[in-house]
């Protein structure tokens, strides 16, 4: 199943900031408020509610990409038992 490209039209923040916020939320076990604080430390003023909306809108596509990357990065090794 093909994922349509993500459109960032009509969003106040650049795509890189949106992508980073959603990536933080899905990649690590962080709450929305922690993601808000982490972005604030970088000088980006975003509410946790905005991060929640971005996660709902873009989260599925990012989660699929993360799963694909994790599946590719795991090496397939076969272990043979020695007699």
Domain boundaries, the chain: 15-71
Query: What is the average pLDDT across 31-53?
Result: 97
- Whether the model pTM is above 0.85: no
Full DSSP string of 25-66: HHHTT--HHHHHHHHHHTT----HHHHHHHHHHHHHHHHHHH
Round to whole Å and give the CA distance between 42 and 60: 25
Residue 2 banded pLDDT, cuts 50, 70, 90:
low
Please report how many Cα atoms fall inside a 13 Å half-sphere around the Cα of residue 76, on the Cβ side.
2
Round to whole Å and give the CA distance between 83 and 49: 59
- pLDDT value for 74: 62
36 and 55 in contact (C-beta within 8 Å)? no
């Amino acid at each position: 199943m093909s994922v349509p490209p993500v459109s960032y039209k009509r969003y106040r923040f650049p795509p890189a900031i949106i992508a980073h916020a959603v990536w933080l939320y899905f990649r690590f076990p962080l709450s929305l408020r922690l993601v808000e604080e982490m972005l604030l430390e970088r000088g980006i003023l975003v509410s946790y509610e905005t991060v929640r909306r971005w996660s709902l809108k873009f989260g599925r596509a990012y989660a699929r990409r993360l799963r694909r990357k994790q599946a590719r990065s795991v090496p397939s090794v076969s272990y043979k038992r020695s007699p």
